[in-house]
Amino acid sequence: MNIHATIRFPLHKATRTIIVVLASLTLTVAANASEVSSPTLKAANEGFYSALNTMFTGKIDPMLALWSHGKDVAYLGPDGRFLTGWNSVKADWNKQASMKLGGKAVPSNVSYFMLPGSGIAVVQNVEHITTDKGLKLSIRATNVYRMEGGAWKMVSHHTDKLPAVLK
């Protein structure tokens, strides 16, 4: 018996594109990507965590500068939402900065992968977060970068959901 099913989602074209790209990256990273030690990719990822820690103090400019400003960017943060497009992602980072959450995020177990010839890189790591209120937690994160104008720009940041944020 041959069963064929089609699942249809009422998603914006850019959202569908992001889902397909992320799914493709997930499925092909192990098979086709090579782990790299690109100094510029490492610097881009370190820059993201520096910008994140700066954002926790209320300063947003470094975070906004490291993202691609395309319609195809995506942010899947600890609150469980799936934001697509630069305007939505930028608005969310601005909102977070305005809360001046404090604390610090430090990555560990960092793996860098590049898809040869694509200008796309995937970084997987664990984020260790300490809040100013003494809460300590660790979440998994995947960062996707695209080479734009000779620099790695973030096109997707995806973390585990945090139950405390969902309340």
Pairing, β 136-148 against β 83-84? unpaired
- The fraction of the chain above a pLDDT of 90, given in percent, is 63
Closest CA to 105 of 36, 157, 41: 157
Note the CATH number of domain 13-166. 3.10.450.50
Q: Do residues 140 and 108 make contact, with C-beta atoms less than 8 angstroms apart?
A: no
Rounded Cα distance between 152 and 4, Å, is 40
Q: What is the pLDDT of residues 20-66, one digit of tens each?
A: 555 555 444 444 444 555 778 999 999 999 999 999 999 999 999 99
Q: What pLDDT shows up at residue 133?
A: 83
Q: Looking at mean pLDDT, say which of 9-18, 85-94, 109-118 comes out highest.
A: 85-94
Other beta carbons less than 10 A from residue 79's beta carbon: 15
Domain spans of the chain?
Answer: 13-166
Q: What is the pLDDT of residues 106-133, one digit of tens each?
A: 999 999 999 888 999 999 999 999 988 8
Q: What pLDDT shows up at residue 162?
A: 83
